[in-house]
Structure 1
Amino acid sequence: MIDCRACPRLVAWREEAARTKRRAFRDWTYWARPVPGFGPPDAPLALVGLAPAAHGGNRTGRIFTGDPSGDLLYGALHEIGLASRPVSERVGDGLELYGVRITNPVHCAPPDNRPNAVERTTCRPWLERELVLLRPGLRAVLVLGGFAWQATLPALATAGWQLPRPRPGFAHGARIALAAADDGPPLTLLGCYHVSPRNTSTGRLTRPMLLDALGAAAEAAGLRPGTPPA
């Protein structure tokens, strides 16, 4: 994945951001490549976001790391006991996730944080493969936002779960039981607004709402959130 150059617009943008940088990060050497998922490969819970931020994951090389969205998400995961620390700064900072894997439907930073539908489709095989690899232990998927929802549904079908007809639309608080297409385990699909500054600054998504969504997803996955490890 990290050598992929399939989307010219995204390749140009991620590399341009690494050249120009932000003043606060002028001493950083940016990752400037596709950003892979993060978390244990046998996680029973998966979170699906949107795409790396140009000066967040595109800089640090780790998903949701080094930007306000990641501050909120990892802080909430730590609060319910699914992350080892509340801050995600860079690779090598000691952060661990417990029972949770985080991935994106688009793995390169897009201009204006908005990948297009063609880029989503082009990148979808990576999400499909990740879900296939997670499938033996995966019990729940929490999708952050409508864009990711549209990418995740067909990826889940490819990975071995049956989708209802008509396909369910995205909604915050959505909860759908998916049967396996074979004799494998079922899956619970849940929806949550994305943790973007736009959503949080307007109150569309509050910290209590996020904690509720993460708690419901953890419960569906059979995890037991509790006091964060010391």
Structure 2
Amino acid sequence: MGIRYSKVQGRFQREVVLLKSFPCVYGKCSFCNYIEDNSVDEIKINEVNLEVLKKVTGEFKVLEVINSGSVFEIPKKSLEEIKKIVYEKNIEVLYFEIFYSYLGRIDEIINFFNNERNKKSIEIRFRTGIESFNNEFRRKVYNKNIILDEKKIKMLSKKIYSVCLLIGTLGQSKEMIKKDIEIALENFEAVTINVFVENGTSVKRDEELIKWFVKDMKHLFNHPRVEILIDNKDLGVFEQ
């Protein structure tokens, strides 16, 4: 049994909820086993989610919603409950996950949470998992079939607040990781660096590369725009 609610303290303090949702629209990333938490049982999904959302206090005025997919895969009833809690608890900033193919629809979510007359606006921040800006590596190793060039990255930066990078996998190089972080910081407000943890998928962990990162890139651990997750349970929520 996992944990679906937590509080993150420190520079990026916020409440975090791990909700269930319908299956990820893509669901083919070679490194991902989170989609095992997805379901097609809408009643069960909402039952779990509404119970988890009862724990939100609004303490930090920031809430992050994780659902092992995209916000558009969360059932309407669960979204309505999130909206209700956001206003009741005076939450000002709301984070959601989104897959690249949904970018054209982000205004639907922004408008959904900001259509209350005489209510203050809610800042919606979207995160997306790019994993690497190296097209060949991302497509061949991570099986994430997105092609990015400079123009598309600039477009993405206008819609996405934060990108997630995945590091410490076999086949990556130090130069690749440095370049990915450089591009991310040049174009996005925030960056989450996920250090890969073995999870039974075809992607494997590179221990030496991770040792290098922790030692030689340690300045990033105090960077005001970089959050580093050494373990996939660092946010305090997991269902495994």
TM-score between both structures, scaled by the size of structure 1: 0.31
Based on CA coordinates, which of the two structures has the bigger radius of gyration? 2
Pick the structure with more strand per residue: 2
TM-score between both structures, scaled by the size of structure 2: 0.30
